[in-house]
Amino acid sequence: VNAATAPVPTEERLSAAERGRLEQLEGVIERGLASFIEVGEALVEIRDQRLYRSTHESFDSYCLERWGFRRAHAHRLVQSAKVIRALSPTGDTPAKERHARELAPLLADPDQLREAWSDARERATGSGEQLTAGHVREAVESRLSPERLAIRELSGTDQWETPTDLYDALDAEFRFELDVCALPHNAKCDLYYTPEQDGLCQPWLGRCWMNPPYGPKLRDWVGKAHQAALEGATVVALVPASTETAWWWDYCRQAEIRFLRGRLRFSNAPTHAPFASAVIVFGRPARVIWWDWQAQGRAR
């Protein structure tokens, strides 16, 4: 029986006053919902058309000074708006931005996205609780098992976004000027190279950040970091700790190596990576550090 058409027991019927109040409350939800979608889309347009350019040097400084939030927050709003757009044909979308945001890792797979959203609500109903971001996260994570993440990684995704706290710790130490490989939404510096510009063909000068695209060209990225350091740059790279590879032996071994404790949870990944990582500082003499970077944060 369709819940919308089933007869309603007398004791469950709403009075006229309650129906009026429900309509009012749903109006509030609809307006709120429309506003976070609109905010997300407005930010995309301002960023992509560089409409901030007469008053601000970068989208980052525009977001921070005009609205008091960082680029990462702007990106989250954009992602949440995309989730709502993707779910809207079903007529059943999250009313809260933090619920929509949790669904973003499934944006590439609309069927999984829909299933996860209905699963999240069933989880909440099953436990007799109000729906929380935790229910949504669980529903998403159950669809993105470590095995699936590993497969995605092996099939060559190049979008493992640096965890913010790791980047912040390194940025506090190195004060990066250039992100050598990025897209506008994940760039870590105001100055960055995109796939269109091809970071591999551009000059790398000053203090550079590199979280390279994983795939067949990884060796070229690490080789270029090594070469740029010989020419005077400092290139700090986040790479898989694949010590068996030729590029580790040929390039990383000659630089400062920081093995990271544990496995990273990349910012846009729902679970921890299925591989270990290391930070390589090209431009510093060879040495090996066992770096418990999170313990350093806790001690501060």
Ligand X SMILES: C[S@@+](CC[C@H](N)C(=O)[O-])C[C@H]1O[C@@H](n2cnc3c(N)ncnc32)[C@H](O)[C@@H]1O
Q: Which residues bind ligand X (CB under 6 A)?
A: 158-162, 179, 181-183, 186-188, 193-195, 198-200, 211, 213
Q: How far is the CB of 185 from ligand X (least distance, A)?
A: 8
For 197, residues 6+ apart whose C-beta sits below 8 A from its C-beta are none
Three-state secondary structure call for residue 277: strand
Which residue, 139 or 210, is less far from ligand X as judged by CB?
210
First-to-last C-alpha distance (Å) of the chain: 59
Which residue, 112 or 211, is less far from ligand X as judged by CB?
211
Which residue, 40 or 213, is less far from ligand X as judged by CB?
213
Which residue, 221 or 248, is less far from ligand X as judged by CB?
221
The answer to whether 239 and 222 are in contact (CB under 8 A) is: yes
The answer to whether 211 and 237 are in contact (CB under 8 A) is: yes
DSSP summary character for residue 213? P
Q: How far is the CB of 178 from ligand X (least distance, A)?
A: 11
Q: How far is the CB of 293 from ligand X (least distance, A)?
A: 15
Q: How far is the CB of 40 from ligand X (least distance, A)?
A: 20
Q: How far is the CB of 225 from ligand X (least distance, A)?
A: 13
Q: How far is the CB of 176 from ligand X (least distance, A)?
A: 10
For 126, residues 6+ apart whose C-beta sits below 8 A from its C-beta are none
Q: How far is the CB of 164 from ligand X (least distance, A)?
A: 9
Which residue, 115 or 158, is less far from ligand X as judged by CB?
158
Which residue, 46 or 183, is less far from ligand X as judged by CB?
183
Which residue, 55 or 194, is less far from ligand X as judged by CB?
194
DSSP summary character for residue 64? I
Would you tell me how many other CB atoms lie within 10 Å of the CB of residue 141? 15
Q: How far is the CB of 163 from ligand X (least distance, A)?
A: 9
Which residue, 39 or 191, is less far from ligand X as judged by CB?
191
> Strand pairing of 207-210 and 178-179?
parallel
Residue 259, CB-side half-sphere exposure with 13 Å CA sphere:
13
For 277, residues 6+ apart whose C-beta sits below 8 A from its C-beta are 238, 239, 240, 241, 260, 263, 264
Q: How distant is the alpha carbon of residue 101 from its chain centre?
A: 10
- Burial track 47-64 (b if 16+ CB lie within 10 A, e otherwise): beeeebeeebebbbebbb
